[in-house]
Structure 1
Amino acid sequence: MFRRKANNANQDPENDPQQQEAKINELKAAIGPLSGPSLKYCSDACFRRYLVARNWSVEKAKKMLQETLEWRSSYKPEEIRWPQVAHEGETGKIYRANFRDRQGRSVLILRPGMQNTKSFENQIRHLVYLLENAVLNLPEGQEQMSFLIDFTGWSITNNVPIKTAHETASILQNHYPERLAVAFLYNPPRIFEAFWKVVKYFLDPRTFQKVKFVYPKKNKESVEVMRLHFDDQNLPADFGGQGDLQYDHAEFSKMMIQDDVKTASFWGLDAAKLNGVEVAPTES
């Protein structure tokens, strides 16, 4: 009888909603009182993501979340506005797609071959802005996003520097835990394997398992795995689908300016002016 009780007590919280709720409440208490943006950020869903990322260890999740709150307090990602990073997006190297995957998740399209700048700080700021934007545009009840990475035009000469790749992995894993559902690397050239051998060591096991390589000519099964996540009518032609998605920087900029107003409203910030950036209100 006592052995059975011990087994139940040690049951994996991943499959036990009551244990999950208890862990979330324990983490809340461990973090303590919050205010301002930190209070807005720390929803129950947020606590759960950090617990999942640390295998439901309250102590480890607390440390991770505290580090994120410190990072957000200094970096202030919710205050970044499109005009501040728009020049980074002129080639469409990263942008939010105008469709969602089959699970209703936001989709970020990344084209590393379209790199157009050299500033490490600006590249990271642009990425963070788009991560925040993808989260902002998630439907209710959905917590994750998908990445589609197109290697057209990629080469060693225009690849992302190792420093940027390392910082990207660090930010995604440490400050946006459990936000990534899956990342499809579409048709990477063979030379990418050398770059990947370095980058993969930056990834924790949970993130590593979410990275899928797709080779349309060599591995049909990898294509089918990708299509399990995306409607073929939405999937852009560059990824083997039937969608006609062309990046238009002017149109995308208009959409981001409108989203900046939503962002300011969500965080309780002044939508008219922030950090010297004028934001026009959306038309009713």
Structure 2
Amino acid sequence: MSSYIAAGTSRPSSDEEKKVRTMRALVESQDLSAKDLSDETIRRFLRARNLDVEKGSSMLVKYLQWRREFVPNGHFNREDVIGIGGLLNTLYLQGYDRIGRPILVVLAGNHKPVSNIDDFKRYAVYAVDKVCSRLPSGQEKFVVIVDMKGYGYANNDARAFTAGLSILQDYYPERLGKMFFVHVPSVFKAAWKIISPFVDKNTKNKIAFLESKKMKAVMGQDIDESQLPELYGGKLKLVSIVNS
């Protein structure tokens, strides 16, 4: 896998490195906890704001405050999410794509709207942190396959979907490498028209809606058959993220 990792990363320029140092000093002046951040973390927030130091710094300071308030222990354990009904059969952690990015599978047809949106957010953060813990050295991004098979009005939950995208955009910038939507029903296409204005341009550029007849061929360009779940013609069995 290591031979592919370099292809999935972008080497920083000397100007970018200078901006990382400037941004670190600016953020540390506002939040001392930033001293513990790696240059890679600061660089991701900088890149998320098109190398604008002030905007990147503002985004990072908001992230640090959010993390302290929403994840006060630094992380969520399996026990923190195992009791959240309607969500435990939705997320599966699989193999890696051809450039070393971990793969998260979302079975949206198994989703049941939750009454407490913070429960959903807690589960989403647990999941993204779990995926990030699987990142190989030198790789910073992951891939998501959103399977809409069986998705209907009972699963339609624009509030949760928007919250999930917001968490990715605002608190895990430059982590999403690509997001495939497969088996997309008309009910979701209508919901997407409502949701899409809240999705930033960078995230939209990473989203692909695949037709069923082209699904395996297109995903196969990024993911080897040995790393693709069985339900997409690959060889891996699904493994729930809470059991991985």
- Classify the TM-score, shorter chain: 0.7 to 0.9
Q: CA deviation at 1:234?
A: 2.1
Change (3 A) 1:18 1:196: same
Give 1:216's aligned residue. Answer: 212
Alpha-carbon RMSD: 2.1
- Residue 173 (structure 2) pairs with residue 181 (structure 1): no
C-alpha contact (below 8 Å) 1:94/1:127 kept by paired residues = no
Q: Given the alignment, which residue of 159, 178, 188 partners 1:163?
A: 159
Structure 1, unaligned runs of 5 or more: 1-13, 256-284
With over 3 angstroms needed to count, the CA separation of the structure-2 counterparts of 1:156 and 1:230, relative to structure 1, is: same
| CA distance in structure 2 between the aligned counterparts of 1:113 and 1:136, rounded to whole angstroms | 26
The 5 Å alignment of 1:111-130 reads 111-116=107-112, 118=114, 119-130=116-127
Cα separation, partners in 2 of 1:90 and 1:180, compared to 1, 3 Å = closer
Q: In structure 2, which of residues 115, 125, 148 is the aligned counterpart of residue 151 of structure 1?
A: 148
* Structure 2: segments with no counterpart, 5+ residues: 1-9
Once residues 54 and 170 of structure 1 are traced to their aligned partners in structure 2, the CA distance between those partners, rounded to angstroms, is 15
Number of residue pairs the alignment of both structures matches: 231
> Deviation above 6 Å: which 4+ runs of structure 1?
none
Where relative contact order (Cα < 8 A, 6+ residues apart) is larger, the structure is 2
Separation of aligned partners in 2, 1:133 and 1:253: 9
Percent identical residues: 30
1:52 to 47, 55, 60: 47
Instruction: Give deviations 1:81-110, integer Å, cap 9, x for gaps.
Output: 11110134774201322x111111111111
* Secondary structure in structure 2 of the residue aligned to 1:154: coil
Distance 2:126 2:35 in 1: 20
TM-score under structure 2 length normalisation: 0.86
Tell whether the 8 Å contact from 1:214 to 1:223 is kept in structure 2 after alignment.
Answer: no
Q: Secondary structure at the match of 1:79?
A: coil
Q: 2:128 aligns to what? A: 131
User: Secondary structure, in 3 states, of the residue corresponding to 2:143?
Assistant: strand
Please, what TM-score do these two structures have when normalized by structure 1?
A: 0.75
Q: Is contact 1:150–1:187 with CA below 8 Å preserved after alignment?
A: yes
